[in-house]
Chains A and B, each alone.
Chain A
């Protein structure tokens, strides 16, 4: 008999980065890299599992910015061009490395991989990621769900109207895109404070995820610990992250991804080769960036430049070993828990950022595939989703989870720091203004009138500015200039449009320009901001 439900949860998200005004934009690389290193390999994995009749199953959260980018004509066209560049680079590399057995083998490895990726994306999927995700959901392999809006820290929004707008925007767009209503939602950074569950319940959300301390420090001590969900006051199930499973995968030092045979992320051909050689494959202005061709393994504490050549065969074999270790550890954990959770199987919640698998940890998608194979053989574990568990074990404890995030120390330290605190004044003041404008114009504007379009665009700009990606970047100090530019650009657009709306002097050309650029949430219901109850 199964002693525990094992829930693998992947959260996929990228900020909405789309720059039609530039023919080549560095930050758009985030999307292209994640596509060919993480999202497509995961979908390929599910096709293989399907063909082998291995019962792989996971819960996959896809944020609205991400699934919008996945179906954006401009970005998908550019992604195919990106794959073509990678294939061309790998061809050149096969020539350059001829005579060097280790590197030549790697050049061929990448050529095969990129060619295969393009074939899968263009020929097999017809560039339709959404269709494939929907198909896997309907087949019961992926419990597809979304994330709150543009990934804001929900407790830091200033009004209930703003919180409601963020949650509703992504739930509505998810339904318009996938054809069904999401049952679960990912709280950006698992950020929760009491009362936030009301906005989830209003959208028919059944479950979400939280850091373990949200459960452990709940209003009532959790009698089943972190191994059965808590039902919040407004009727949403909160599944707490399992710390053991988390550390095994997350920790770069002690976790699997730090194994010395795995591929080194920070050595990349885009930085290693002379500029003349690499120029056709990087930014046309000569700005170097990662290409995805990485020839070295972590090796050890040797410093960049002294690593040994990467051996995919050895590394992928190690990923299968680690997958077996992970599953066997969970099975032992299940056995131990069975003695304590007398009246129910444990639910072991294992949530991760999806981009860890394949992008940061190159062998991570192979690890996942190995995990599903191993789990299929293990009678102590049942691969599960939160909905499966709630149906199997309907009696649950009801109480309010505690304020928390899954960030550093379990609270808001990352997103409320000397480097980013200034953001909140501007954003929260914009929220207040949006609420006032929505209350003033709700029910008064004809659909698609100029004013109606302005209100919708105001909503889009505000939602985009609220993304926690920007404050995260300001804290961590990477691509700060870009984050600053994005925050300022969205808030500038917001302020200009608000002023034009108030004065009655709306500049349609300006409106049309930013509608074309920041085109997420095409059917956004701006009147949601009028309801601040």
Chain B
């Protein structure tokens, strides 16, 4: 039976969305127009991993999947934790090149370890409009329970870039 809200599922445009579920998987769903199937070559979806350095252009395909209907979705596995991923839908040409029809927003897979940013401290003041925050110098006393963790985990190569303040 058709319900009025089915209009919210009609494929009047191309879109692909990547929703991270946990450090290991995401749900990808897509909508494409019927016209997109007019091409001789089959539609393909693919998951790409991107470098941590957001200015770098290198991208690597890590997984592809068939796109056989105008709207559908599936779970896909991330290549690792704390890595930027993006999903695309398009065709692969005779030359083997991928012609992208639509691309998702970039998402970062969640992680199960702390990042490597150095510890930074602020003084806060509770005000009517929220917290007022200012940078302060603060020395963490020796022997503090978690002080040894400063400097973060050992998996630096997968960590996100240091936050630039």
Q: Which residues of A contact B (CB under 8 A)?
A: 156, 158, 181, 183, 193, 201, 203-207, 213, 216-225, 227, 231, 233, 235-237, 337, 340-343, 387, 390-391, 394-400, 402-404, 409-413, 416, 421-422, 424-426, 428-430, 433, 488, 491-492, 494-496, 499
Contact = CB atoms under 8 A, between A and B. Distances in A.
Contact of B5 (A221, A340, A341, A494): A494
A235 B152 contact: no
B110 A341 contact: no
Contacts of A404: 110
A398 B128 contact: no
Nearest to A417: B21
Nearest to B17: A428
Contacts of B122: 231, 395-398
A175 to B, nearest CB: 12
Contacts of A496: 4
Interchain residue pairs A-B with the least CB separation, the first 8: A340-B145, A491-B5, A411-B22, A220-B117, A342-B141, A219-B115, A221-B149, A221-B114
Contacts of A390: 124, 126, 131
A399 B120 contact: yes
A225 B145 CA distance: 7
B150 interface: yes
B144 A223 contact: yes
Interface string B6-31: 11110000000101111100010101
B118 interface: yes
Given A395-B122, A396-B122, A397-B121, A204 B130 contact: yes
B76 to A, nearest CB: 12
A201 B146 CA distance: 28
B93 interface: no
B125 interface: yes
5 contacts: A337-B145, A390-B126, A402-B114, A411-B110, A495-B8
Contacts of B126: 183, 206, 387, 390-391
Interface string B104-140: 0000101111111111111111101111110010101
Contacts of A340: 143-146
Contact of A205 (B6, B130, B133, B142): B130
Contacts of B29: 421, 424-425
Given A402-B111, A495-B5, A231 B133 contact: yes
A395 B140 CA distance: 11
A190 to B, nearest CB: 14
Contact of A236 (B31, B130, B146, B149): B130
B115 to A, nearest CB: 4
A217 B130 CA distance: 25
A304 to B, nearest CB: 34
Contacts of B150: 220-221, 223
